[in-house]
Amino acid sequence: MDQTVTSYAYNNWSNQRLLHHLKELPEQVWKQEVQSIFPTHTA
């Protein structure tokens, strides 16, 4: 398989895994304050 197609497929697969994981997190996690330049994940 062409390297570009392989890279695209892997990127798509990894993004889907990440999004699936993020959907499983409780809403509280998104609004929780953290020590960062951004106060929350939704900022």
Domain boundaries of the chain, sorted by first residue: 1-43
CA-CA distance, 10 to 2, in Å (whole number)? 12
pTM for this entry: 0.61
pLDDT confidence of residue 16: 98
pLDDT confidence of residue 43: 56
CA-CA distance, 14 to 40, in Å (whole number)? 24
Give the tens place of pLDDT for each residue, 1-43.
699 999 999 999 999 999 999 999 998 988 888 787 777 767 5
pLDDT confidence of residue 15: 98
pLDDT confidence of residue 38: 78
pLDDT confidence of residue 39: 76
Q: Tokens 């993004």 correspond to what residue? A: 15
